[in-house]
Amino acid sequence: MAVQAVQAVQAVQEVPAVQAVPQRTVIENCSIATVDAHDSEHARGHIVVAGNRIESVGPGPAPQGLSGVVRRIDATGHLATPGLVNTHHHFYQWITRGLATDHNLFDWLVALYPTWARLDEPMVRAAAQGSLAMMARGGVTTAMDHHYVHPRGSGDLSGAIIGAARDMGVRFTLARGSMDRGEKDGGLPPDFAVETLDGALAATEATVDAHHDASFDAMTQVAVAPCSPFSVSTELMSQGAELARRKGVRLHTHGSETMEEERFCKELFGVGPTAYFESTGWLGDDVWMAHCVHMNDSDIAAFARTGTGVAHCPSSNARLAAGIARVPDMLAAGVPVGLGVDGTASNESGELHTELRNALLINRLGTRREAALNARQALRLGTYGGARVLGRADQIGSLEAGKLADLVLWKLDTLAHSSIADPVTALVFGAAAPVTLSLVDGRPVVEDNHLTTVDEEAIARVTRDEARRLARIAAGA
Ligand SMILES: [Zn+2]
């Protein structure tokens, strides 16, 4: 890729003093998959970025005579797509990867809760840096973290996570999670790992007040996110929903992940997860739920009717043998669906671009239909679908003039992909493609497959050290 710096002096002289010219980046000669409403694609096109917005996208070279151009990129051999949007993750798990590798969900949780209950602020900060770095270098421009472990005295974990995202330069949603149903109340987590109902609600509201930005180009948003039916009281579900709606923020939780969860809901509440969610105010177009594996036709219809979104996490569902979510049926019914890596204790790679491929392959296996999902649908799940699930489809998720400049240039002219003619097929079916450039809000986060905003090797060291420290503390050493 050739990158040229262009003198901006002329542009400054042409502009009236009261109106600054935005700095422009011009990208040319790449294939472009816009993922707009018509799935518009250009075999050889251009993108102009002005400030933090996309100014134009189209076939052929960029318009002539643009002022304020500070960078011109010849992206021959690349595919440009919207940046990937991750809709479900647990950053803290970066320092507990590779444990309980042959367990189902409930056994895996029971094995790991005692370790997670020992988390402190430096551990959570390091784990957030590791999770964010791995995602960003793989083309994620909007990240999210569902953080629901808040041990007493562990410090300002939300502030540490949000600070890590800000330093990385990625767009970010913190789903402020919580648990208040310990073992003594019939829940799964140990009692020492949960908050009180009032404590969880107050801390969640404080996090929204301190950090949520509702503006068009917000870099940080906050959602209300009690963890799951088996770790949260009915009061926290209901009052959490009321809190979110009073504050005008979104709601997130885990739902219908395993058969064990379904049995738990029927025993404790007398109904399955979807009916339970509906009874607590948790179906709606401001809600998105992780997994949704065990959904019957009426559950899918309820999600479609209410506009409730789904974060599909195929690798994690496979790792924990949870099952296969009915994504083709959800899409056919009109359910908003995005992709998620889930926490890296159940998906050690922590990379979202591999989820494009896994979503496609696993749903073909699940349905035994060879075209249950295609490459373009998979790309849409990981971009526009995720933006819709996060309530940000007007701002991100497709390459269109006026939207925020979150985009990725995937290098497809090397051994791994050069013999595949169709670039979207190469990206989704092929090996993980190197990221030559990732822009978030118009600013580079990745250049030539390296993070530009943080020191990747330093993060590797600190995450290793914090993982060891946590293991020592958890072992009582
Ligand atoms: Zn999860």
* pLDDT at position 477: 57
* pLDDT at position 20: 66
pLDDT tens figures, 293-311: 999 999 999 999 999 999 9
For residue 341, pLDDT beyond 50? yes
Q: Cα–Cα distance between 201 and 184 in angstroms, integer?
A: 20
Of 77, 73, 29, whose CA–CA distance to 412 is shortest? 77
199 CA to centre of ligand 1 in angstroms: 22
DSSP symbols for 85-152: EB----GGGGGGTT-STT--HHHHHHHHHHHHTT--HHHHHHHHHHHHHHHHTTTEEEEEEEE----T
55 CA to centre of ligand 1 in angstroms: 36
Higher-pLDDT residue of 105, 19: 105
Per-residue pLDDT band at 61 (split at 50, 70, 90): very high
pLDDT tens figures, 179-211: 999 999 988 888 888 999 999 999 999 999 999
pLDDT > 90: percent of the chain: 89
Number of CB atoms found within 10 A of residue 256's CB: 28
* pLDDT at position 56: 97
306 membership: H or E segment, kind and range: helix 297-306
* pLDDT at position 19: 54
Asked if residues 27 and 80 have their Cβ atoms less than 8 Å apart, the reply is: yes
* pLDDT at position 186: 87
146 CA to centre of ligand 1 in angstroms: 7
pLDDT tens figures, 203-250: 999 999 999 999 999 999 999 999 999 999 999 999 999 999 999 999
Q: What Rg do the C-alpha atoms of the chain give, in angstroms?
A: 22
Contacts of 270 (CB under 8 A, 6+ apart): none
How confident is the model over 405-410, as a mean pLDDT?
Answer: 98
pLDDT tens figures, 422-451: 999 999 999 999 999 999 999 999 999 999
pLDDT averaged over every residue in the chain: 94
For residue 80, pLDDT beyond 50? yes
* pLDDT at position 153: 87
Angle at 32 between CA 30 and CA 35, to 5 degrees: 165
97 CA to centre of ligand 1 in angstroms: 14
* pLDDT at position 190: 87
For residue 261, pLDDT beyond 50? yes
pLDDT > 70: percent of the chain: 95
Of 127, 165, 113, whose CA–CA distance to 144 is shortest? 165
Contacts of 296 (CB under 8 A, 6+ apart): none
Q: Residue 156: is it exposed, middle or buried by C-beta count within 10 angstroms (0-12/13-18/19+)?
A: middle
* pLDDT at position 7: 41
Distance of CA 103 to the CA centre of its chain: 25
State pTM to two decimals.
Answer: 0.94
DSSP symbols for 371-427: TSS-HHHHHHIIIIIHHHHTT-TTTSSS--TTSB--EEEEE-SSTTTTT-S-HHHHH
pLDDT tens figures, 83-138: 999 999 999 999 999 999 999 989 999 899 999 999 999 999 999 999 999 999 99
135 CA to centre of ligand 1 in angstroms: 16
For residue 1, pLDDT beyond 80? no
Asked if residues 312 and 337 have their Cβ atoms less than 8 Å apart, the reply is: yes
The crossing angle, in degrees rounded to 10, of helices 105-116 and 259-269 is 80
Q: Residue 105: is it exposed, middle or buried by C-beta count within 10 angstroms (0-12/13-18/19+)?
A: buried
133 CA to centre of ligand 1 in angstroms: 19
| Pair of tokens at residue 344 | 């890296």
289 CA to centre of ligand 1 in angstroms: 9
58 CA to centre of ligand 1 in angstroms: 38
Specify which residues 226 forms β-bridges with: 178
Q: Cα–Cα distance between 173 and 161 in angstroms, integer?
A: 10
464 CA to centre of ligand 1 in angstroms: 22
The DSSP letter of residue 251 is E
How confident is the model over 315-322, as a mean pLDDT?
Answer: 95
70 CA to centre of ligand 1 in angstroms: 42
* Neighbouring residues of the ion ligand 1, judged by CB less than 5 Å: 290, 342
Per-residue pLDDT band at 8 (split at 50, 70, 90): very low
167 CA to centre of ligand 1 in angstroms: 24
258 CA to centre of ligand 1 in angstroms: 12
309 CA to centre of ligand 1 in angstroms: 15
